[in-house]
Structures are given as structure tokens and as C-alpha cells.
């Protein structure tokens, strides 16, 4: 009886919450809170002006006075105009989110931190990209807005970073948290052109196709068409608590050996874990380094 009540409780939690705050696998209260560990990193705040080494700035495309769509660009501390660098392209989670543990997500590109936790501020260009509203005038803080405009904006950002800021077009990673994790496939594999941009993917907390959210195209049949564009490229897949649900899904939908599943042993629906020196962050950094080494060895 107790097990049945637990299962139904988990179902009700899924029905009455959004993408933020759902813990896959075990009950979240079984895990410690990430806030009990000290941070060793704090992402830089958004600054004004032109991009400079060690500085995160707001960047807008185009002269339109009616558009406030923007992304955040960070150049590593050792950046130089003649250097060439791998690139981390990050999508944020859903905005207007807070749970009982104090985890928050604003949905803003300014507040992303996954890329900074991976790089520690060196070695990578890091860019946080927006979901674009239906009318194309502002960043969409919850869910997708216009998928087509979001896809086109992302393509433009990658092109700009590689052409003007030293990004290596053969070493671009797409990364994201929650909504952004789903977007690694939902946006990043939307069509053949955008799918061709990525060397690898970091998907933290949720995964495209595992669950049908309240939006068009999240069903498994449609998500399979996106997954088919993956082409066997590597994906890091992590989740607070357990990745079992995603692992089971992919064992049926895409049974290849190029996924790295990592359970994050904390209850928090957040990217705060990458700002702390824990084994899972070290494993993530090593995984990315291995992929870059594999590319150099080709």
C-alpha cells in the first residue's frame, strides 16, 4: 500500500507542476541539499560595453528599436584576437520558478551558470542564448516562444562567435538545464542545419521525449525525428537524484553507446552543483576534455 501511495504521489506531482521541480527516480527528500557545500565559483555578473577577456556582456543583433532579444557572451580570461577556442552554447531553464528548497530559475540568459561551472572561466567561449518570443521582440522566459525564431537566432549566434570571436566551429557544445536540457534536442536538433553545429551535448535535468509536456511536438514520435539527427554524437545526461527514466527511454528509442548518464546525489533542481568542487563536476569536465581530445586525434 505504501509503495502504491508513493507512486500515485509522484504522478500527482508531475501533473500539477511544470518542468521545473520534478525529480526523476527516487523521492527528492532522500538526498542532501547542495547548499550544504561551499561554492568555489561565482559566475560573473552581466556588464555593459564591448566583450573583453573575463567579462560577460549583453549582445543584441540588428538595429531594430522594437526588439529586446539578446544573449550573453563571455570570453575566457586568456582570450586573444588571434586565439581559437571551443564554445559552450547554453539554454536556460524556465523562468518564474522556485521550489520548497529555495531553488530558483529566472529563465534569463543573464543568470545561466552551467557553462561557467564547466569552464571555470578559462579555456572556453561561453554564450547563453535565448528562446525568442512569438513576435520576435523579446526573450521568452517560459517554454519556447517561437521555435523557428529561436532556431534562427541560435544559428546566428554560433556563426557570430566563430567568425568574430575565435570560436572553433568544430568544437561547439550545446548545453542546457531543465527547459534548456530539453532544448538540446528540441531546438538543437530541430533541423539538419542546426543539428550539424554541435560536437556534443550536456543535458542536465529532463530530456526531450521522455515526457509529453504541454506543447506541440513533445510527443515521442516527433521527438524521435529529432533524435534521429543526433548521428551518434556524445551526450552527457544528468539529473538530480536519478537518470533512470531517461536511460530507460533511450534504451528503447536510441540504443547506442555514446551517452554518459550521471546521477547528481542532491535534491536540488538547479545548476548550482557545477559551482562546487564535487566528483560529478570533475567527471563532466573530464568528459568534455575527452571529446575534445578525440577530435584532435582524428
The CATH code of the domain that includes 284 is 3.40.50.1820
pLDDT in tens, 244-292: 999 999 999 998 889 999 999 999 999 999 999 999 999 999 999 999 9
In the prediction, which pLDDT does 64 show?
A: 61
Residue (of 264, 288, 252) closest to 25 by Cα position: 264
In a 10 Å sphere around its CB, with 0-12 CB exposed, 13-18 middle and 19+ buried, how is residue 251 labelled?
Answer: exposed
CA distance 176 to 89: 8
Number of domains in the chain: 1
Give the residue numbers spanning the domain of 259. 2-296
Residue 218's pLDDT band (cuts 50, 70, 90): confident
206 Rama sector, left if φ>0, alpha if ψ -120 to 50, beta otherwise: left
Contact criterion met (CB below 8 Å) for 128 and 105? no
Q: What is the mean pLDDT of residues 98-127?
A: 98
Residue 73's pLDDT band (cuts 50, 70, 90): very high
Residue 296's pLDDT band (cuts 50, 70, 90): low
Predicted TM-score (pTM) of this structure: 0.90
Of 25-29, 106-110, 141-145, give the lowest mean pLDDT range.
25-29
Amino acid at each position: 500500500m505504501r509503495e502504491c501511495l508513493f507512486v500515485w504521489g509522484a504522478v500527482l506531482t508531475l501533473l500539477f507542476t511544470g518542468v521545473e521541480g520534478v525529480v526523476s527516480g527516487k523521492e527528492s527528500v532522500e538526498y542532501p541539499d547542495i547548499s550544504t557545500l561551499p561554492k568555489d565559483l561565482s559566475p560573473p555578473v552581466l556588464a555593459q560595453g564591448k566583450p573583453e577577456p573575463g567579462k560577460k556582456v549583453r549582445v543584441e543583433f540588428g538595429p531594430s528599436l522594437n526588439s529586446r532579444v539578446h544573449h550573453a557572451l563571455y570570453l575566457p580570461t586568456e582570450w586573444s584576437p588571434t586565439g581559437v577556442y571551443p564554445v559552450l552554447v547554453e539554454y536556460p531553464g524556465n523562468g518564474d520558478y522556485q521550489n520548497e528548497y529555495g531553488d530558483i530559475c529566472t529563465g534569463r540568459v543573464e543568470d545561466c551558470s552551467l557553462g561557467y561551472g564547466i569552464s571555470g572561466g578559462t579555456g572556453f567561449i561561453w554564450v547563453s542564448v535565448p528562446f525568442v518570443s512569438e513576435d520576435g521582440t523579446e526573450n521568452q522566459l517560459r517554454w519556447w516562444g517561437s521555435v523557428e525564431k529561436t532556431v534562427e537566432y541560435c544559428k546566428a549566434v554560433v556563426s557570430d562567435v566563430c567568425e568574430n570571436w575565435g570560436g572553433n566551429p568544430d568544437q561547439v557544445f550545446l548545453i542546457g538545464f531543465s527547459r534548456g536540457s530539453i532544448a538540446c534536442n528540441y531546438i538543437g536538433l530541430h533541423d539538419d542545419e542546426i543539428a550539424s553545429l554541435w560536437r556534443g551535448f550536456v543535458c542536465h535535468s529532463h530530456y526531450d521525449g521522455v515526457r509529453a509536456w504541454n506543447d506541440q511536438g513533445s510527443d515521442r514520435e516527433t521527438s524521435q525525428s529529432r533524435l534521429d539527427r543526433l548521428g551518434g554524437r556524445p551526450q552527457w545526461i544528468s539529473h538530480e537524484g536519478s537518470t533512470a527514466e531517461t536511460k530507460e527511454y533511450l534504451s528503447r528509442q536510441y540504443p547506442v553507446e555514446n551517452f554518459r548518464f550521471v546521477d547528481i546525489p542532491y535534491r536540488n533542481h538547479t545548476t548550482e552543483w557545477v559551482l562546487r568542487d564535487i566528483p560529478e563536476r570533475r567527471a563532466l569536465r573530464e568528459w568534455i576534455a575527452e571529446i575534445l581530445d578525440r577530435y584532435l586525434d582524428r
